[in-house]
Structure 1
Amino acid sequence: MSTTSTVTVGTLRVDDASLHYEVRGHGPLVVLVAAPMDARPFEPLADLLAADHTVLTTDPRGINRSPVDDRDRDSTPEQRADDLYRLISHLDAGPAAVLGSSGGAVSVLALAQAHPEVAHTVIAHEPPLSELVDDRAEVRARTEEIIATYQSGDPVGAFRKFLVLANIHLPEQVVQEMAGGERDAQSIADDDYQYGRMMRATTRWTPDLANLRATASRVLIGIGEKSGDQLCDRTSRALATALGTEPTMFPGGHIGFAEDPEAFAVKLRAVLNG
């Protein structure tokens, strides 16, 4: 059952961005982060965890409520990791357990490399690290096609190509609802930034495997139980193999935390207490 918790909303100014963040609950610090997704889909999970944790969520730089000074500058995993470091330090409630989803999983891996002192546990849930799979050249080329299709003025076509590459199957009605029709200015701006400044820098990032093996952070690679044969399942398994670890399975698919937050919270608590 979902709960509703008191939310403290703040903005942290960093060198080139203003980071929107939200804090719920009391107890050990847990950070939930994605990219390009903003903080809103984490709200049900954050409310559940807030019963016995302090929960930090944030919009990544350049997305929704976290504007950047220069929208022509790429959003790199290193920059987003530094943002997380600054947010956790600002709260002065760490070290934290940090869960990153999709592009946010890449952000938290970069955090573990650069600032392990602020994250005792890092869970990278389905990082889209395309450079780790055997068909990386094909994936790279198809990613460029997706970006080019979007920038040609065809957001629905770009989203369809993304779903094919990711091996995610959605009804056409859902595709149209998510990428077509009337969209507000903020949604368009977020998509522009995601396709133009975030996707390439995130998927082409290559982790420092030796660093991640040696880091003081406990690094876990999460995969959704329903994500079999999807691109992020393959990239995640490749990373786990490269690190010499077994993946940690979570309920649901790529966004299992939003699909079934209750089940996801149960699993996450078990992982954090393990």
Structure 2
Amino acid sequence: MTTSGPESSTPRPNVRVTTSRVRSEGDDLYFEVRGHGPALLLIPGAGGDADVYAAVADLLSDEFKVITYDRRANARSTSNSPQNFEISQQSRDAVAVIHAAGEQAAFIFGSSSGDVIALDAARTQPHAVRAAVAHEPPCARVSPNAAKWQRFFANVYRTAHHFGSSLAGLRFIFGIQVPVRKLVKGHTQAVEYARGRREFRQHEDRISSLDTNNVLMKLELLPVTNYLPDVQLIRRNGVTIIVAVGKWAQDRQT
């Protein structure tokens, strides 16, 4: 999720950002907090990097206590056991970050992989989820074309293991029918904003993009896309879920 226009490219220096870490099941998770008000956790999707939300987090900090974080094995968080990827662990991580930020519960926004994590938190830890917005969850099993998409994601996974994650990433991006140029532009704007926001700490310790892509394509892809939300349990838990769809996807029914 990125914003466009002058506000997305010009950092807001008056917004105070505090950074910290929390230990969760063997890894240290980097997180940021800004603003005051009801707690709002933003969960990143592919790449697991809090920086994609920097611009929108600054904007929302006028009304919310915005919490962003790097998911385990991504960006500034650690990767002590990258061979394991479990949605349930990811949702426990999200709640650990909420608690480390001094909150018992939060509103949650997730995009792509992030909203699968939000849905799982609503299922397993409803006490920590005040409500959640799921932006285009990639849950292939609930699609009318479930078999088609499950085959596609399985083929991307096989490509990653036989020919490498870079080629698999290209196959993934062009296969999921997204506006590639807009996606790249939005990501670039988000990164540039975040770098300007923190005056680009050149020696910041980060997991490499190659390792991040390996985690995404070889470990994260299938658990995320095969995830089946337990809608009935979430309803019984009393957690409100709002499903959000972008105009591009809505117009093309992708």
TM-score range, shorter chain: 0.7 to 0.9
Q: Please state if 1:227 is matched with 2:249.
A: yes
Letter in 2 for 1:161: R
User: Which of these residues, 20, 40, 43, is aligned with residue 30 of structure 1?
Assistant: 40
Distance, in Å, in 1 between the alignment partners of 2:107 and 2:40 is 5
TM-score of the pair, normalised by structure 2: 0.80
Distance, in Å, in 2 between the alignment partners of 1:57 and 1:200 is 24
Quick check: 1:99–1:124 contact (8 Å CA) kept in 2?
Answer: yes
| Alpha-carbon distance change, 155 to 114 in structure 1, aligned in 2, over 3 angstroms | closer
Distance, in Å, in 2 between the alignment partners of 1:129 and 1:136 is 9
Note the residue ranges of structure 1 that are not aligned, 5 or more in a row: 179-183, 235-274
Distance, in Å, in 2 between the alignment partners of 1:156 and 1:194 is 11
User: Which of these residues, 80, 84, 107, is aligned with residue 73 of structure 1?
Assistant: 84
Letter in 2 for 1:40: D
User: Which of these residues, 80, 95, 119, is aligned with residue 129 of structure 2?
Assistant: 119
User: Which of these residues, 58, 74, 78, is aligned with residue 69 of structure 2?
Assistant: 58
Letter in 1 for 2:51: R
Q: Please state if 1:93 is matched with 2:103.
A: yes
Quick check: 1:36–1:63 contact (8 Å CA) kept in 2?
Answer: no
Distance, in Å, in 1 between the alignment partners of 2:79 and 2:208 is 14
User: For residues 178-211 of structure 1, what are the alpha-carbon distances to aligned partners after superposition, in whole Å with 9 as ceiling and x for unaligned?
Assistant: 9xxxxx9700000001111111111101111211
**SS of corresponding position for 2:89:** helix
Alpha-carbon shift at residue 99 of structure 1 (Å): 0.3
Q: Please state if 1:208 is matched with 2:218.
A: no
Aligned equivalent of 2:194: none
| Alpha-carbon distance change, 6 to 165 in structure 1, aligned in 2, over 3 angstroms | same
User: For residues 6-52 of structure 1, what are the alpha-carbon distances to aligned partners after superposition, in whole Å with 9 as ceiling and x for unaligned?
Assistant: 11111111122111111111121111112223101100000011122
Q: Please state if 1:188 is matched with 2:178.
A: no
Identify the range of structure 1 (85-94 vs 56-65) with the bigger mean alpha-carbon deviation: 85-94
Aligned equivalent of 1:45: 56
Q: Please state if 1:162 is matched with 2:172.
A: yes
Distance, in Å, in 2 between the alignment partners of 1:222 and 1:123 is 7
Aligned equivalent of 1:199: 221
Letter in 1 for 2:39: L
User: Which of these residues, 23, 26, 31, is aligned with residue 13 of structure 1?
Assistant: 23
Letter in 2 for 1:78: S
User: Which of these residues, 83, 107, 110, is aligned with residue 117 of structure 2?
Assistant: 107
Aligned equivalent of 2:193: none
**SS of corresponding position for 1:35:** coil
| Alpha-carbon distance change, 191 to 69 in structure 1, aligned in 2, over 3 angstroms | same
Letter in 1 for 2:94: L
| Alpha-carbon distance change, 211 to 155 in structure 1, aligned in 2, over 3 angstroms | same
Alpha-carbon shift at residue 133 of structure 1 (Å): 1.4
Distance, in Å, in 1 between the alignment partners of 2:152 and 2:212 is 21
| Alpha-carbon distance change, 132 to 79 in structure 1, aligned in 2, over 3 angstroms | same
Letter in 1 for 2:71: P
**What do you get for the CA RMSD once the two structures are aligned?**
2.3
Aligned equivalent of 1:84: 94
| Alpha-carbon distance change, 229 to 62 in structure 1, aligned in 2, over 3 angstroms | farther
**SS of corresponding position for 2:250:** coil
- Identity score, percent: 24
Distance, in Å, in 2 between the alignment partners of 1:203 and 1:158 is 15
| Alpha-carbon distance change, 52 to 228 in structure 1, aligned in 2, over 3 angstroms | closer
Distance, in Å, in 2 between the alignment partners of 1:187 and 1:39 is 14
